[in-house]
Structure 1
Amino acid sequence: MSKPTVVVLGAGGAQASGVLRGLGRSSTPMRIVSCDREFRDGRVVTAGAQEVTQVEFDLMASPDQLYDLLQSADLVVNCTGPYYTLGPMILDAAIAAGTDYLDICDDADATDLLLRRDEAARAAGVTALVGMGSAPGTTNVLVRLALDALPAGDASVAISWCVDASDMVGAVVPHFAHSFATAIPDAGGTPSWEALGPKRVRFPDPVGEQMVVTLSHPEVLTLPRFTRVTEATNQGGLIPEDFTHLGWVISRLPEGDARTAAMHSMFETARVSHGDREPVGSGLIVDVRVGDEGIVFVSGGKMSQDDATGTPAAAGCLIALTGQVPGPGVVCPEVLRPADFFSALRDVSAGGGGMTAFRTNGGEVTESVRIRDLLEQAQAVAG
């Protein structure tokens, strides 16, 4: 049986590096075609023992080359950004080429545009898995896992997260500002600070208490579409919280190249001013409730966002290559069977995820629960 071919776009960037490391740990042999506009300083892309071919081209300037690459591929992994400008173009190319698609899109408005390609993807026999990173991505699968273990009925989800500012590089910076500008769709721009509902949330050590605000994230859009969730919120922030305020201020500048340049300059200046600070890591809380009963997942640790995002994306690649993503069409990670996801995750992970789960009643923790037990319960219910 020939090895599947996976095209990775934006392969020279930080997020793609985590994907490639994950694929490199996989026991599934594959051919990887790593593509970017340029690989700085003659960087050679590797993925463990996987066969890797490196290609430099500008996909905006050479769409025909992108189409040719996709025609001979089984899966394209889109790690370019920002997604609100590049996502739809690349998915359209994948649909035209008849190639399955996966990305780590974390812009709600871009996700909406991608979901509108569902009919075209179905007609072309293409399955597109959108938002297969950490949040969205792992968050969506955790919600599905909780729903499979909770009673029937409408569900609510509250997602809180924080990321260390040391991970704010490349396209992540304009994305963060864009998340403020689109946090409340009807606001017509960046809402006031008070309208973002800032609050302090306690994450597991070593992350501790951090400030989070309402930001535009796809889970709020997709969970009600693909599950029985009727109410979903998403709040996040950066560590130290100065960077969260900075992102809000930058998002109030007029859009354009000048704003993008200002973003990178201001974030880099702020990073330098905190140069002697030890990075804290990232934190995540996913609180799922049906009536009074609930399950909450919590994590906190020093894993970089490269790996926190790239590792679940690599797991998503394995699921896609084995035909376990429901399709064809454009779907999001909450449609995946949690057992499939965690099985693939074990194959691509370096370990040390640190996720714990608890049952709750009325929002109060009643007992700890193993994710393994939740998976077994979900499989028993599914038959």
Structure 2
Amino acid sequence: MSDTTTIGILGGYGAVGSAVARRLHQSTAASLLVAGRDLGRAENLVRSLGTGSALAEPVAVDLADPSALDRFAARCDLLVNCAGPSYRILDTVARAALRNGTDYVDAAGDDPTFLHLSSGGGVHEWRAAGRIALLSAGALPGLSGLLPRHLANIVGQATRLDAYLGGVAPLTPAAAGDVLLSRGPEHGTPGASWRDSTVRERSIAPRRHLSLAAFPRPVDAFPFLSTEALRLARALQIGQVNWYTAFGGDRLPEQLALSWALQATDTADLVNAAAEDVQRHGTWYGQEFHLWDADDAEAPAAVLSLTCDDSYELSGFMAAATTNAVLAGEIPAGVHFAADVLKPTKIFQALSADRAAKISLHEPVAQPQQS
């Protein structure tokens, strides 16, 4: 793409979209369209950008208006979708991008969106049009699938991966909506692990009061074998994967279990529960990966730890880095998950130099201890 590229950021004044807009405003010479339903908020975000390489324009776009969405997509060479809840939007924005000859990056998107795009030969349509759709270009899933790949590049053939992902963070209504909707086999399997090319249900138990380098205080880790973890296991040919969601507070997991049991759709209780945890424990987020290269090794061959104050800023880093990879011509046409096609070591190096997080590699260590 040329320097005259126009990048549209839908949901551009939200928690993730504003982080993407700030980064692209500084790092590209493209024109930015900061879009959403509330023109006033878009205007405020544009005013806050200050000086930078890119020109920025606020735009009012309502996802419920297909004509308005098409007009917006037609102005873009690349459309970055940061609107939510993503599990309700699904492929709506992506299909508008394809109709208007626009490349597409989704900070979320995940498997439900991929399934919708794949139906009826949809993947072939993107390749035939020479257009790119990149899904799951956020912190989780996305970066969580890239960092273990970088670790595997260092270690070599991996035999086992343990992953711990989470912390304490406020939830926006859109993010809470995605959390409520992230149930079912298209998202993952609670309590399951990966063993010798098979999903083993109810095979591992929660781990309480774990002390890990990625988190400033002990966390409770609940096994959830996500679809991203499955793709990673198959891609790296790992025999054993234990994938955990880590909670640094009590209120959010309690409310989440209740909301799921009641099949609740109102996000307010979940947003309030997350806010209570933040009030008690502060805001922090982490990802930690332990990778073994021998079945009989007591300690992992390498450990990668990431910690940050703001998970939305981390998703903004990932979505912007994905956008830059498209601009650089690094991605083939078609529909992809970002972690499957981005360059893991390049992303690791960029993140290591970025303010979004602190990231480090550790020497072999013993298993985390439970208190």
Q: 1:6 maps to what in 2?
A: 7
Paired with 2:317 and 2:261, the residues of 1 have a C-alpha distance of: 33
- The Cα shift of 1:234 comes to 3.0
2:327 aligned with 1:321: yes
**Is 1:36–1:57's contact at 8 Å kept on the other side of the alignment?**
yes
**Is 1:155–1:289's contact at 8 Å kept on the other side of the alignment?**
yes
**Is 2:325–2:331's contact at 8 Å kept on the other side of the alignment?**
yes
Alignment of 1:41-52 (within 5 A): 44-46=44-46, 47-48=49-50, 49=52, 50-52=54-56
Paired with 1:273 and 1:329, the residues of 2 have a C-alpha distance of: 39
2:132 aligned with 1:127: yes
Question: 1:332-368 CA deviation, whole Å, 9 max, x = no partner?
Answer: 3232223432465578x3x26211113548x769xxx
SS at match of 2:262: coil
2:265 aligned with 1:260: yes
**Is 1:96–1:124's contact at 8 Å kept on the other side of the alignment?**
no
- The Cα shift of 1:246 comes to 0.9
Q: 2:290 maps to what in 1?
A: 287
Give the direction of change, closer, same or farther, for the CA distance of 1:291–1:179 in structure 2 (3 Å limit). Answer: farther
Counterpart pick for 2:217 among 208, 215, 223: 208
Paired with 1:127 and 1:230, the residues of 2 have a C-alpha distance of: 32
Report the TM-score when normalising by structure 2.
0.80
Q: 2:165 maps to what in 1?
A: 161
2:229 aligned with 1:220: yes
2:207 aligned with 1:199: yes
2:312 aligned with 1:306: yes
Paired with 1:114 and 1:336, the residues of 2 have a C-alpha distance of: 20
- The Cα shift of 1:31 comes to 0.7
Counterpart residue identity of residue 297, structure 1: L
- The Cα shift of 1:73 comes to 1.8
Q: 2:148 maps to what in 1?
A: 143
Give the direction of change, closer, same or farther, for the CA distance of 1:338–1:273 in structure 2 (3 Å limit). Answer: closer
**Is 1:196–1:213's contact at 8 Å kept on the other side of the alignment?**
no
SS at match of 1:355: strand
Q: 1:251 maps to what in 2?
A: 260
**Is 2:13–2:42's contact at 8 Å kept on the other side of the alignment?**
no
Give the direction of change, closer, same or farther, for the CA distance of 1:232–1:57 in structure 2 (3 Å limit). Answer: same
Question: How many equivalent pairs are there?
Answer: 345
Report the TM-score when normalising by structure 1.
0.78
Give the direction of change, closer, same or farther, for the CA distance of 1:126–1:230 in structure 2 (3 Å limit). Answer: farther
**Is 2:126–2:333's contact at 8 Å kept on the other side of the alignment?**
no
Structure 1 window deviating more from structure 2 (304-313 vs 102-111): it is 102-111
Q: 2:25 maps to what in 1?
A: 24
Q: 2:339 maps to what in 1?
A: 333
Counterpart residue identity of residue 330, structure 1: H
- The Cα shift of 1:331 comes to 3.5
Paired with 1:147 and 1:272, the residues of 2 have a C-alpha distance of: 36
2:105 aligned with 1:102: yes
Instruction: Give the CA RMSD over aligned residues.
Output: 3.2
Q: 2:90 maps to what in 1?
A: 87
Paired with 2:345 and 2:218, the residues of 1 have a C-alpha distance of: 32
- Percent identity over paired residues: 22
SS at match of 1:356: strand
- The Cα shift of 1:230 comes to 5.5
**Is 1:319–1:341's contact at 8 Å kept on the other side of the alignment?**
no
2:72 aligned with 1:69: yes
> Which fold has the larger relative contact order, with Cα–Cα distance below 8 Å and residues 6 or more apart in sequence?
1
